[in-house]
Structure 1
Amino acid sequence: MDIVIVTTVIASLFLVIGVAEPLAARLRLPYSAILAILGILIGSFAIFFLRTELTDALNPVAEAIIGLPIRSNVFLYVFLPTLLFQATLGMNFRRMLDDWVPIMVLAVVAVVVATLSVGYALSWTSALPLAACLLIGAIVSTTDPSAVVSIFRSISAPRRLSRIIEGESLLNDAAAIALFGLFSGFVMLGVPDPKLGDALAQFPVLIVGGALTGWLAARIAIWIMALFSSHELALISVSVALPYLAYIVAEQSIGASGVIAVVAAGLTLNLTGPGRLPPQAWKNLREVWDLLAHWAGALIFILAALLIPRLLEDVRISDFVLIGVVIVAAVAARAVILFGLLPLLTLLRVSPSVERPYRTAILWGGLRGAVTLALALAVTESLRVPVEVKRLVGILATGFTLFTLLVQGTTLRSVVRWLGLDRLSAIDEAISRQVVAVALQTVREDVARTTEDYSLTHDVVRSEAKAFGDRLDQAVKTAEDSDDILDRDRITLGLIALAGFERDTILARVRERTISARMAEQTLLDADRLIEGARSGGRSGYQRAARRAVGYGRTLRVAVMLHNKIGLSAPLVRMTADRFERLLSQRLILRDLDLFIDGRIRRIHGRRVADLLNELLTRRIELVEAAMDGLRLQYPGYAEELERRFIRRTSLRFEEREYSAMREDGLIGAEVYTSLMQDLTMRRDAAEGRPPLDIALKRFELIRQFPLFADLDDKAVKRLGRALKTQYFNPDSVILHKDGTVKSVFFIASGAVELESAGQKWRLGRGEMFGQVAILTKNTRRAEVRAIAPSSLLVLDVARFRSLLKKSVALQKAVRASAEQRGIDPDILLMEHTKGA
């Protein structure tokens, strides 16, 4: 085939891709549907010109189109990894965790149910063997995100609806392709009635093997990319290689799911990349992948559509009945999951509620696309599949895909509008009015400065200012006096605006490198939770999200347990350092929010709402400060090291700004500027590194600070330091249970604990001890001890404590004081244990 003609055809396809997007917007149809229609038309015209005798001039072009090397392995090994990988890079994985149950139900359970439903329905209505019917069910069970998400975004559908659709579409590809591999093997081996138990038993192996392969490949790639952090193009090139190598290794070397490997690799890079790679490099990497995925998605649709005329050449009247069976079975299976299983899981409190309009939109939005066509093409190419099976697979998969694109796709926008999902809620309407009023006030100020700077004609300025002022007054009045906004809603609006401004401030600080890329994703997630909390729960929802932002998560508690039980400190070191930096970043951001409250929010919602928001902000600052103080007690000096790092990075930012200004003013040339920036980059790379955190307590220095051990000599202090063990406890952790046996005495190195016994409570802090009374009285403990702050405790066993008690007068005085506080005779308590002292 002439390379010139092939190049012309490929270039023309890119031209078609460029035309399709504005055409879809103009016709208000799904972009993928337009691509499919154009592909079908191109393929049909190519066949027409080859078979007609009207002209032979276009035969070379038609032959080039028909002869394009479009095989299923091109779709599966070239285009599919690109689409999956970009989707995982673009998804907010932590936010999707909020809806992980409905996403997994739709991505896995719904795929299996649809496969079985379509398979058995076809086996009852056709002469195909069950294995072939189940194979068709697996092919048509995967949905296409690009075909529907763009519609939701264009009509301002709820974000949660888009997240569920994206998560389902991403993960169900893996489930459907895994089932496709199983059933295609049965068909090729000639097994008419496969044992579903044996087939599904292989499913976890495919999933786990693919996940481990993708995770390991991504970790290796991230390590290499971190080494190349100063070479952006090299870094991006490694990211391009990652999904393809993960896919090939999983499929060809391990026999696992390549799709799962790509998804796992993308999720690992999504979660780890922002903290390991430079912010600008990460941003450019994402942009490159967005472009690659746009091209891949368009090409996979248009190239697959080119094949549709050939796949439908042998269609018969009876085949339309079978297409109807597939449509009914697939839609019914999806409806059973959405309107049967999901409400049941919600009733059992296993899954968050998914509203009925959402479920209806998800049902009608289950469009099929290029992956379905690619899987069908793979079957039609196989020489080991019977001819009639290949024919029906191609026709049924193609017919069902066209139905979803041309019927469901073209009507989905109307369905969403009928459900009312395109309309803003009352609170969102109020937000839009608030945004308009605030924006117009800012615009008026900027316009006033501009007219003054450029000395514009006074009469023109006055007339335009009057017109603009009237519009602004109307917008402010609408925002302030709207009857449908209650005081409670005004507070909610203010909190949503405050959390949105906090998010914008975080992004600005990340761009300035005031906040590290490591913390960017976590702090942005906290801001998103504040927005969602305020939107759904008002003031109480906002406060819950604020407390969660400074609280201790389950992973940190697990890290503490690993350190205490088996001495594995690495997770605790990393998470504690992350917590230090996260709290410091929150404190820096919160200090900037009061100006926003006193400025924009006060102008829109009045003094009372602004004062309340200032009060809530003060409480948040106090929460952060308290958490920082607790960490400072545990690890003195580390917060100061982070603050020094912040000052160094800020000074470098200011230095870069000055160099840029000097270059723009012509004070320095390009050569000098380049040299200065190279030096600054080296110093910035050095400043990016976070100082190491040593969580090991320096026992000897710490023991000297305890008044209880003040009278011990150096030799005794060293022996005591070797005998003491360190344990860490999070707030609300129970250290000693009531009625338990006490085997050690605890000395509080940092933090605070609360003792509760017989309805009375005592609080102990740094330098104090507990557990000694139960040991000396030889009684089962009747008090419960709970940490009320992050606490580091030094633990001493009973024998060593008794030996120490005989030698230390200061320790005897402390025991005497604690006994008196509890109403116990200290002389009786100490008499036996200090003999021979």
Structure 2
Amino acid sequence: MSIILITGVIASLFLVIAIAEPIAERLRLPYSVILAVLGILIGGGAIFFLRTDLTDALNPVAEAILGLPIRSNVFLYVFLPTLLFQATLGMNLRRMLDDWVPILVLAVVAVVVATLGVGYALAWASGLPLAACLLIGAIVSTTDPSAVVSIFRSISAPRRLARIIEGESLLNDAAAIALFGLFMGFVMLGVPDPTLTDALGQFPKLIFGGAVTGWFAARLAVWVMAGFGRHERAQISVSVALPYLAYIGAEQIVGASGVIAVVTAGLTMNLTGPRRLSPLTWTNLNEVWNLLAHWAGALIFILAALLIPRLLEAVRPTDFALIGVVICAAVVARALILFGLLPLLTRLRLSPAVERPYRAAILWGGLRGAVTLALALAVTESLLVPIEIKRVVGILATGFTLFTLLVQGTTLRSVIGWLGLDRLSPIDEALSRQVVAVALQTVREDVSRVTENYDLTREIVRSEAKGFGERLEETVGAAEDGAEILDRDRITLGLIALAGHERDTVLVRMRERTISQRMAEQVLSDADRLIEGARSGGRNGYQRAARRSVGYGRGFQVGVALQRRLNLSGLLARMTADRFELLLSQRLILRDLGAFIDGRIRRIHGRRVADLLHELLARRVETMETALEGLRLQYPGYAEELERRFIRRTALRLEEREYTNMREDGLIGAEVYTSLMQNLNARRAATEQRPTLDIAIQRSELVRRFPLFVDLDEAALKQLGKSLKTFYVNSGKWILRKEDAAESVFFIASGAVELESAGQTWRLGGGEMFGQMAIVTKKARRAQVRAIAPSTLMVLDAERFRRLLERSPTLQQSIRASAEQRGIDPTVLIM
């Protein structure tokens, strides 16, 4: 076959890809459905022209189409790694974690249930070997959610619904292809009825072997990319090689799942890439991968659709009944998960609730596509699979795929409309009216200024102003009609707008490089949670999301446990440093929100709502400042280093702006500008490196660091170290309450506490003590103390403390100073 002809056919396929998108938009159908239909028409047309006597002129083109090297390994080794890697690379993993239970259930449990359901139903109806039936079940259990997500994005469907389906797609293919490889091996080895033990025995190697391979490959790739410095194209080239090498290495060397390896590599790159690469490189890398994934997704669909006419050539009337069995079994299995298991997990408080309309849309949106056809093609190509099984697999997989595309795909938009997921809620409608009203008000003021500046003809101005004013009055009237909205809904609308502006501010700061991209992603996730919290729970939902943004998660507790029990401080140090930077970034963002409340929200919702939002914002700022102050007291030197780093980054941004302005004004030439920017970028690269936080704690060293023990000799220090007991307390936990027995004195090894006594509040950090006043005055405790940061405290009982006090003038002096600060007469102290 001529290379010219093959090149022409492939170029023509790109033209088909180009026209499919506008056709899909015009017909309001999923893009993948249009690609599949066009592929079927092209494949069927090629077969028709080869077999008809009408004309021979198109025979070379038809032969070139049918002779394309479309093999299963092309799909699995060329296209699939691209799609999987881009999907994981572009996901907001922090937001996915909010719904990790339903995502994992749909991506893994639903796949297993569908495989078993379809397999046993087919074995009962067809008489085929159970291994072959389970193989068919694995093939048809993988969904193609890209079509559904594209519809949801085009009709203002809830973000959470699209996020759950995207999360399902992340692991769905991995689980299905792993099961496919398992049962394919049984069929080729001639094992008719594999046991569950046989299957589960091989599954861990497929999963964990692939995960380790992908993690190692991604870590190595990120290390190489970071070493390439500012060679952006070299870094992107390494990222392009990563998924293919991970897939091949897992499949051919380790004998594990290549799909799992690619997914793990993408997740690792997603989590570590923004820290090691510059924001511009990371953005461009994602743009390249978006384009590659678009082409790969379209090509895999249209090439797979070309095979459909050939796969259905040997269809028999009895096969239609088996296709019906597959359809019913697959739908029932998915329905059992969505309407049986997920509600049960919600009642057991193991999963967040997924609303019934969402579950119905997910059920009908389980479209199958190119991956299903590619797996079926792999079976038909195998020489070790019996001919009859190859025929049945090809027909059933193709028939089921056609049903999902041509029936479910074409009616999905109508189903979504029937469920009401394409309509804005009343509160969103109100928000839309309010936004339009404010926008038009601002535009009218700006237009008025423009007409004055340019001295436009008054008749034209009056004419345009009349039409514009009518639209503004109509919109404002509609907004005023919404005055019947309850006050709590107005507050909710204001909170949603405030969180939306917070998100926009984060994006601006990220572009300015005032905050790092890695921190920006986390702050953006927090802003998204604020929006969704306000939508679902109003003021309470917003406040819960705000508290979560400054709270300590389970990962932090794991880090603490590793540091305390195994003396492994790396995870805790990294998470503490992240928290430092996150709080500094949040402080920067929150300080810009007050002006937005006064400038925008007050005009829409009135003074009462604005004042309430100011109050909520003030509480957030106070909580954030408390958390930040706790860390400052715990690690004062590190806080100073981070603030210096922020100042340096801000100065570099302003310096870059000045150079750009001078270049645009013609004050400096291109050569000078390039030289200045190279120098600035070198300094910026050094600034991006975050200082290292050392949190390793040794009790003997801590005792020596305390200023209170400076006058003790070596023997006394050693004895004191043995007497002290160490314990850890989380942020927000109470350590002492009023009227508690005065039995111990507490020394802060690391962390920070807040002490309240007689209506006054003090904050104490590392190297300070508390609880001593009740002992030296022999009175009940008048103070209560709580941790404002994760703190490590050393405790000394009252008797040993008195003996220590007798020997330490420094300690005596410290207690007298503390008494004077709290207004206690030093003469009542018993020392």
Q: Please give the TM-score of this superposition, normalised by the length of structure 2.
A: 0.91
Residue 114 of structure 1: how far off its partner (Å): 1.1
In structure 2, the residue matched to 1:553 is: 553
Taking the TM superposition and a 5 Å limit, the aligned residue runs for 1:291-330 are 291-330=291-330
Bigger shift: residues 378-387 or 271-280:
271-280
Distance in 1, matches of 2:622 and 2:44, equals 69
1:751 aligns with 2:747: no
2:342 aligned partner, one-letter code: L
Q: Which residue of 2 aligns with 1:18?
A: 18
CA–CA distance in structure 2, aligned partners of residues 287 and 763 of structure 1: 51
Q: Secondary structure at the match of 2:595?
A: helix
Say if 1:416 and 1:515 are closer, same or farther in 2 by CA, change over 3 A.
same
Q: Does 1:629 align with 2:626?
A: no
Match of 2:607 in 1: 607
- In structure 2, the residue matched to 1:446 is 446
2:427 matches 1:427: yes
Aligned counterpart, 2:824: none
2:359 aligned partner: 359
Quickly say closer, same or farther: Cα 1:799–1:225, change in 2 above 3 A.
Answer: farther
Q: 1:713-748 CA deviation, whole Å, 9 max, x = no partner? A: 67689768977797654324577999x999996413
CA separation of 1:716 and 1:636: change in aligned 2, threshold 3 A: farther
Name the SS of the counterpart of 1:482 in structure 2. helix
User: What is the deviation of 1:589?
Assistant: 0.8
Q: Deviations over 1:65-99 (max 9, x none)?
A: 11111100000011011111111122222212222
| CA offsets 1:465-486 (integer angstroms, 9 cap, x no match) | 2322332233234324414421
| TM superposition shift of 1:620 | 1.2
**Which range moves more in the overlay, 508-517 or 675-684?**
675-684
| Partner SS for 1:202 | helix
Amino acid at match of 1:640: E
The answer on whether the counterparts of 2:72 and 2:378 sit within 8 Å (CA) in structure 1 is yes
Q: Structure 1 690/448 Cα, relative in aligned 2: closer, same or farther at 3 Å? A: farther
Deviation at 1:497, TM superposition (A): 0.3
Counterpart residue number, 2:411: 411
The residue that corresponds to 1:3 in the other structure is: 3
Code of the residue aligned with 2:100 in structure 1: it is W
Q: TM-score, normalised to structure 1's length?
A: 0.90
Letter in 2 for 1:752: V
In 2, distance between residues paired with 1:162 and 1:497?
A: 22
Specify the alignment match of 2:127 in structure 1: 127
Distance verdict in 2 for CA 1:458–1:441, change over 3 Å = same
2:6 aligns to what SS in structure 1? helix
Cα deviation code 1:17-75 (max 9, x no counterpart) = 00111011111111111111111111111112222222222221111111111100000
Taking a change above 3 Å as real, the CA distance of residues 216 and 704 of structure 1, as seen in their structure-2 partners, is: closer
**1:211, 1:532 → 2: CA distance?**
32
How far apart are the structure 2 equivalents of 1:231 and 1:92? 26
Q: Which moved more, 1:684-693 or 1:540-549?
A: 684-693
How much has 1:815 moved relative to structure 2?
A: 9.2
Quote how far apart the aligned CAs of 1:785 are: 8.3
> Within 5 A, what are the aligned runs for 1:551-700?
551-695=551-695
Matched with 1:140 is 140
Letter in 1 for 2:752: G
Structure 1 residue 377: Cα displacement: 0.1
Match of 1:55 in 2: 55
Pairs within 5 Å for 1:419-568:
419-568=419-568
Partner of 1:115: 115
Superposition deviation, residue 526 in structure 1: 1.1
Q: Deviations over 1:177-199 (max 9, x none)?
A: 11111111111111111112321
- Cα pair 2:742 2:771 within 8 Å, conserved: no
Question: CA shift at 1:358, angstroms?
Answer: 1.1
Corresponding position: 1:65 with 2:26: no
- Paired with 2:453 and 2:729, the residues of 1 have a C-alpha distance of 61
The answer to whether the 8 A contact 1:331-1:363 is kept is yes
User: Which ranges in structure 1 are unaligned for 5 or more consecutive residues?
Assistant: 820-828
| Deviation larger for 316-325 or 72-81 | 316-325
> What is aligned with 2:238?
238
Q: What does residue range 219-238 of structure 1 map to in structure 2 within 5 Å?
A: 219-238=219-238
Alpha-carbon distance, 1:347 to partner:
1.9
In structure 2, distance between residues paired with 1:734 and 1:413: 54
**How far did residue 525 of structure 1 move?**
1.1
After TM superposition, list the pairs within 5 Å mapping 1:181-196 onto structure 2.
181-196=181-196
**How many residue pairs get matched?**
814
Q: Structure 1 vs Structure 2: percent identity of aligned residues?
A: 76
Query: Aligned ranges for residues 22-61 of structure 1 at < 5 Å?
Result: 22-61=22-61
Equivalent residue letter for 1:173? D
For 2:744 and 2:482, locate their aligned partners in 1 and report how far apart those are by CA, in whole Å.
65
Cα separation, partners in 2 of 1:149 and 1:713, compared to 1, 3 Å: closer
Q: Is the 8 A contact 1:43 1:305 kept in 2?
A: yes
Q: Which moved more, 1:558-567 or 1:570-579?
A: 558-567
Find out whether 1:793 has 2:786 as its counterpart: no
- What amino acid is aligned across from residue 503 of structure 1 in structure 2? R
Change (3 A) 1:501 1:732: closer
Partner of 2:769: 768
CA distance in 2, matches of 1:380, 1:743: 79
- Asked whether 1:260 is paired with 2:260, we answer yes
- Partner SS, residue 354 of structure 2: coil
Change (3 A) 1:442 1:217: farther
Greater displacement, 100-109 / 470-479: 470-479
CA distance in 2, matches of 1:648, 1:179: 53
Q: How many angstroms apart in 2 are the aligned matches of 1:338 and 1:291?
A: 33
Cα separation, 1, equivalents of 2:122 and 2:595:
66
Q: Is the 8 A contact 2:753 2:785 kept in 1?
A: no
**1:311-390 superposed matches below 5 A:** 311-390=311-390
Q: Whole-Å Cα distance in 2 between the matches of residues 612 and 773 of structure 1? A: 41
Q: Please give the alpha-carbon distance, in whole angstroms, between the structure 2 residues aligned to 1:774 and 1:244.
A: 68
Q: Does 569-578 or 455-464 show the bigger shift?
A: 455-464
Deviation of 1:271 after TM superposition, in Å, equals 2.0
CA contact (8 A) 1:560 1:729 kept: no
Assess if the C-alpha contact under 8 Å between 1:147 and 1:369 holds in 2. no
The question of whether the paired residues in 2 share the 8 Å contact of 1:476 and 1:604 is answered with no
Query: What's the offset of the Cα at 1:2?
Result: 0.8
> 1:184-233, CA deviations, whole angstroms, 9 ceiling, x for partnerless residues?
11111111111123213322332222122212211111112222241111
Task: Please state whether the residue corresponding to 1:84 is helix, strand or coil.
Answer: helix
Q: Residue deviations 1:210-261, cap 9 Å, x none?
A: 1222122111111122222411111111111111111111111112111111
Distance 1:481 1:469 in 2: 18
Describe the shift of the 1:319–1:627 C-alpha distance in structure 2 as closer, same or farther (beyond 3 A): same
Cα distance, 1:446–1:232 mapped onto 2, change above 3 Å: farther
Match of 1:279 in 2: 279
Matched residue of 1:298: which SS?
helix
Q: Is the 8 A contact 1:361 1:416 kept in 2?
A: yes
8 Å CA contact 2:142, 2:371 repeated in 1: yes
Return closer, same or farther for 1:485/1:804 CA change in 2, 3 Å cut-off.
same
Q: What per-residue deviation string (whole Å, max 9, x for no partner) do you get for residues 791-810 of structure 1? A: 34346699986874552256
Contact 1:110–1:333 (CA under 8 A) maintained in structure 2 = yes
What SS class does the counterpart of residue 268 from structure 1 fall into?
helix
| Partner AA of 2:269 in structure 1 | L
CA contact (8 A) 1:601 1:610 kept: yes
Q: Which moved more, 1:348-357 or 1:452-461?
A: 452-461
Distance change >3 Å, CA 789–CA 62, structure 1 → 2: closer
One-letter code aligned to 1:154: S
Q: Counterparts of 1:745 and 1:389 in 2: how far apart (Å)?
A: 78
Q: Which structure 2 residue ranges, 5 or more long, are not aligned?
A: 820-828
2-side partners of 1:186 and 1:774: how far apart? 75
Distance 1:700 1:260 in 2: 47
* Cα 1:646/1:362, change in 2 over 3 Å: same
1:274, 1:520 within 8 Å by CA — same for their partners in 2?
A: no
